Amino acid sequence: MSKTDIHSFLTRTLFRDEIETEWTPRFRGSSLPVCPRQLMLGKFMDKPLKKKLPFVADYHMSVGHAIHDLVQKRWARQGILWGDWKCRRLECGVFAKNKIMTRCPVCNDYLLYQEKVVHDEESGFNGHCDGVVWVEELKGFVVCELKTRNSNIIKKFSNERPYESDRYQLAMYSYLIERDFWLPIAGRMIVWIGKPRPEPFLEWFYPGNGKKLYDEQVRLKMQGDKMLAEKKPLEVYGRCKEPEDVGSCPFGGICMSPKKDDLIMDMWQQWNNKI
């Protein structure tokens, strides 16, 4: 095999390869702000939707996961991280919930942090919170939403607000953590850590538990469910106001089509015939 062959082998099997991932629109942290219409259309599908994942997108996601692990490890070792834990040695059998911990009480090794799963029964909301950290200066817990962003983006944003999706995600988690675990929440923070270098970083802090944003999202979701139950699919509203907003829509920005009502009614009828 020549050098050129190896090069094209790598290009073909890694850098140009796309893997297919499946997903279903759900009311979860990673798809906020909620689009009740997208959730409804997701219900009409009998199979999960498919999405192509190119190497570069997978690469950025993996870097993001690694940075989450790193931040959680550093806070865990300082004894300021609250949540669930397990020991990496299965024979210890240590699983602990809802507390600040650092080392395994059996083997004394450092414990692994398990992101807190939050859930709301009534609305069906689900999510994983990046971390709940004790901030001595505030004498309280702060719920953290961590994002890795390209350094150039961080420089551009230094005087601005974070993304709307970050704010909603954080508010949903902080409110549910306070509600379900009775933890005194002093505030919530969004932290953007740079790529490829960690600094500059940005943070936004908000006092309180985020209940207002939580209530707004849950109300929209439940209203959508109600309209669908009443067989009024055209009254299940979508979140997009501008054509630019539709990039992340798995239905190809359907609501920007002048035929959207017909398309929605068609999908609804097909779904109705099946159930």
Q: Does 238 participate in binding ligand SF4 (rule CB under 6 A)?
A: yes
| Candidate segments 121-129, 146-154, 169-177, 253-261, binder of ligand SF4 by CB under 6 A | 253-261
DSSP state for residue 178 in the 8-state scheme: H
Nearest CA-CA partner of 82 in 182, 192, 232: 182
Residues contacting 184, CB < 8 A, separation 6+:
140, 141, 178
The residues binding Zn ion (CB under 5 A) are 87, 89, 92, 104, 106-107
Alpha-carbon distance of 262 to 255, in angstroms, equals: 11
If binding means CB under 6 A, how many residues of this protein chain bind ligand SF4? 13
Q: Which does 87 bind (CB under 5 to 8 A by kind): Zn ion, ligand SF4, none?
A: Zn ion
Instruction: Write down the least CB distance from residue 27 to Zn ion, Å.
Output: 36
Other Cβ atoms less than 10 A from the Cβ of 185: the count is: 21
DSSP state for residue 14 in the 8-state scheme: I
Tell whether the torsion through CA atoms of 116, 101, 90 and 181 is positive or negative: negative
CA 260 to mean position of chain CA atoms: 28
Q: Does 71 participate in binding ligand SF4 (rule CB under 6 A)?
A: no
Q: Which does 92 bind (CB under 5 to 8 A by kind): ligand SF4, Zn ion, none?
A: Zn ion
Alpha-carbon distance of 168 to 218, in angstroms, equals: 11
Ramachandran angles phi, psi of 131, nearest 5°: 175, 150
Q: Does 246 participate in binding ligand SF4 (rule CB under 6 A)?
A: yes
| Candidate segments 46-54, 137-145, 190-198, 246-254, binder of ligand SF4 by CB under 6 A | 246-254
Q: Are strands 131-135 and 116-120 parallel, antiparallel or unpaired?
A: unpaired
| Candidate segments 137-145, 189-197, 212-220, 235-243, binder of ligand SF4 by CB under 6 A | 235-243
Select from 58, 253, 263, 271 the one that contacts ligand SF4 (CB under 6 A). 253
Select from 249, 264, 267, 268 the one that contacts ligand SF4 (CB under 6 A). 249
Instruction: Write down the least CB distance from residue 94 to Zn ion, Å.
Output: 5
Instruction: Write down the least CB distance from residue 174 to Zn ion, Å.
Output: 30
Give the containing element (helix H, strand E) for 65: helix 55-77
Closer residue to Zn ion (CB): 105 or 200: 105
Q: Does 39 participate in binding ligand SF4 (rule CB under 6 A)?
A: no
Give the containing element (helix H, strand E) for 36: helix 36-44
Give the binding site for ligand SF4 (CB under 6 A).
Answer: 35, 37-38, 41, 238-240, 246, 249, 251, 253-255
